Amino acid sequence: MGEIKNGYASQIEGMHESLKALNKLVNEGTELSVFQRATIKSNINRLVEYISYFELTETLLHQFKAVAPEMYDEIDALKDNTGQPVTVFVRFVPELEMQHGAAGTTNLDHNENGRNIYQSEYGVRTVSVKIASVTKALMLLAHEFGHVSYQVRHLASYVEYYSTYYQNETFNGKIIGHNSNDPSGINAVEYENLFRQQYSRFLKNTYNKVENPLVFLQEIKKTYARMN
């Protein structure tokens, strides 16, 4: 427990095995019907999509660490106010998967055994972060890390704040979490601004380019298309 993890990683080995098996089946299955072949191809495309976003997430997390190592290390070693480490799962996802205009989201939930114990779909003492795969994806991740940093350390009080100010709010990704006096939102903007400064410095002092997520994603998919 306790680090930044790729949210796709737990299933990636099985996905690779399934892809390998389906490719073998479609290439060697001479008795497959047209319908069966089309179904297998559809499943292959879904697997390639999953694997592509796993690889995109891996690459962007490495790039984030290269640009802002101190910020990355802070979240990587984050602990809640009980002193326990918290694992932050990150997934870069298709823009269409995001809801209500939000380009980045951080879940907010506590465990039934403690209001200061974070939880997400990944389990107890975990946080779930989703980022749209857009050109400013790294900036969005810095923003969400600001939310994560504050909310993990002040979970119980922030849940109360959230229920007071947002419980009657019709969901809008650009409003929720960003009231002018919202401490999590203020922290997110501070992280974003700090990352912007470090990003600018990184580009001036290195020959390494930062990949455009959309271009990189297409390259991954082309690679797998050539393999199939």
Nearest to 215 by CA among 129, 134, 124, 108: 134
Contact 120, 86 (CB under 8 A): no
Residue 165 pLDDT? 82
pTM of the model: 0.90
Kindly state the average pLDDT of the residues 82-87.
96
pLDDT number for residue 170: 52
Q: What is the pLDDT of residue 228?
A: 62
Average pLDDT over all residues of the chain: 89
Q: At 78, is the secondary structure helix, strand, or coil?
A: coil
Domain boundaries, the chain: 8-62+212-227, 69-205
CA angle 64, 66, 72 (to 5 degrees): 55
Q: What is the DSSP string of 111-163?
A: ETTEEEEEEETTEETEEEEEEE-STTHHHHHHHHHHHHHHHHHTHHHHHHHHH
Exposed / middle / buried, residue 170 (Cβ in 10 Å: 0-12, 13-18, 19+): exposed
Percent of the chain surpassing pLDDT 70? 91
Residue 79 has pLDDT above 90, yes or no: yes
Supply the pLDDT for residue 14.
Answer: 96
Terminal-to-terminal C-alpha distance of the chain: 37
pLDDT over 90 at 26, yes or no: no
Task: Give the confidence band of 214 by pLDDT, cuts at 50, 70, 90.
Answer: confident
pLDDT for residue 174: 55
Rounded to 10°, the helix 137-153/69-76 angle is 40
Distances (CA, A) of 70 to 66, 81, 103, 123, 158: 10, 21, 24, 26, 25
**pLDDT category of residue 208 using cuts at 50, 70 and 90:** low
Each residue's pLDDT tens digit, 122-144: 999 999 999 999 889 999 999 99
